[in-house]
Amino acid sequence: MPELPEVEVTRQGIDAPLRGARVVGVRLGKPLRWPLGCGDGELLGATVGPVARRGKYLWLTLRREGREAGGLLMHLGMSGSLALRAEAGAPGPHDHFDLVTDRGTVRLTDPRRFGAVVWAPALDRPPADKLLARLGAEPFDDQFTPQALHRALRARRAPIKAVLLAGEVVVGAGNIYACEALHQAGIHPAARSDRLSAPRAALLHGAIRATLARALALGGSTLRDFSDVHGASGAYQAEAAVYGRDGQPCPRCGAAVRRLVQAGRSTYYCRGCQRR
């Protein structure tokens, strides 16, 4: 599933090229998770403003006569990716949405169709506000401090890996990045979140930021389908210390990396250097 680094890489790839572009066409393919929420003709003639990100959602601002006129909230789902092409060509069976502008076409490709493109009048108006309501702090915001993380963890009794994946404390630590951050911080993925001390929460805070920053620098991770808007794959997965390395030696202590299943998701950890 594309996580925060992959979505941010996508945002960076379309933000500058599309600013000021005029929408000249819209194509809808097979239904996605939710309906578009407006007639496709209602988007014609709008110009594209800044592209923002909130968690794993992209917000593509639309303007008319110099004023904001709503926007498109986009989610890549489990297997989606956006491409920006000067000439998009005929859509394939998994190409479900095209936003055609005078600077190229943004195409959403999603084999599983769990992605979404939804129009909303503003981020704080339905349906956008409901979709974003439970998202936690952005990992690089000033408000996300070690102290804030510790307070939030103390209010939850679930395993720390599950808390990170839920995205209600901090967004962006998806499966691969949660595994890697917990390994870097030396915390067992099944440790109860409310029992983590302030010093250990501070270690985790730093590990989350460092892991996501490194993933961003490497273009995210490509495990199956993800590519950036120009078709390039991410490279972070090649540097993973524990994710996907079941039975291989931990690069820190040499003990074998182990795999366990938490809430239906594979978790990788080192029993030697990650303690509860």
- Is 17 annotated in the active site? no
Query: Both tokens of residue 124?
Result: 């704080």
What is the predicted pLDDT for the residue at 94? Answer: 95
Q: How far apart are CA 205 and CA 185, in angstroms?
A: 9
Cα–chain center distance at 131: 14
Give the type of residue at 5: P
Above 70 in pLDDT, residue 233?
no
Closest CA to 97 of 11, 29, 24: 29
Total-model pTM: 0.92
What is the predicted pLDDT for the residue at 36? Answer: 96
- Report the chain's mean pLDDT, rounded to a whole number: 93
Above 90 in pLDDT, residue 228?
no
Of 19-28, 232-241, 267-276, the one with minimum mean pLDDT is: 232-241
Which of 2, 5, 159, 189 does the annotation list as catalytic? 2
H-state helical runs in the chain: 4-18, 128-132, 146-154, 160-166, 175-185, 198-217
pLDDT in tens, 44-72: 999 999 999 999 999 999 999 989 999 99
What is the predicted pLDDT for the residue at 218? Answer: 87
- Is 161 annotated in the active site? no
Coil, helix or strand for 226? coil
What is the predicted pLDDT for the residue at 88? Answer: 87
pLDDT band at 177 (very low <50, low <70, confident <90, very high): very high
Which of 11, 53, 56, 113 does the annotation list as catalytic? 56
Average pLDDT over residues 129-150: 97
Percentage of the residues of the chain whose pLDDT score is greater than 70? 95
Of 37-51, 154-168, 216-230, 234-248, the one with minimum mean pLDDT is: 216-230
Closest CA to 241 of 209, 268, 275, 203: 268
pLDDT band at 263 (very low <50, low <70, confident <90, very high): confident
Above 60 in pLDDT, residue 227?
no
Which of 3, 6, 8, 180 does the annotation list as catalytic? 3
How many other CB atoms are there within 10 angstroms of residue 269's CB atom? Answer: 22
Which of 63, 156, 192, 265 does the annotation list as catalytic? 265
Q: How far apart are CA 118 and CA 127, in angstroms?
A: 8
- Is 3 annotated in the active site? yes
What is the predicted pLDDT for the residue at 229? Answer: 60
CA atoms within 13 A on the CB side of 8: 20
The residue with greater pLDDT, 228 or 125, is: 125
Of 93-102, 223-232, 245-254, the one with minimum mean pLDDT is: 223-232
What is the predicted pLDDT for the residue at 117? Answer: 97
Give the phi and the psi of residue 209 in degrees, each rounded to 5. Answer: -65, -45
Q: How far apart are CA 150 and CA 204, in angstroms?
A: 10
Q: How far apart are CA 176 and CA 268, in angstroms?
A: 9
Domains recognised in the chain with CATH numbers: 4-132 (3.20.190.10), 146-270 (1.10.8.50)
Q: How far is CA 162 from CA 185, 240, 266, in A?
A: 16, 20, 11
Looking at residue 268, what DSSP letter applies? E
What is the predicted pLDDT for the residue at 66? Answer: 85
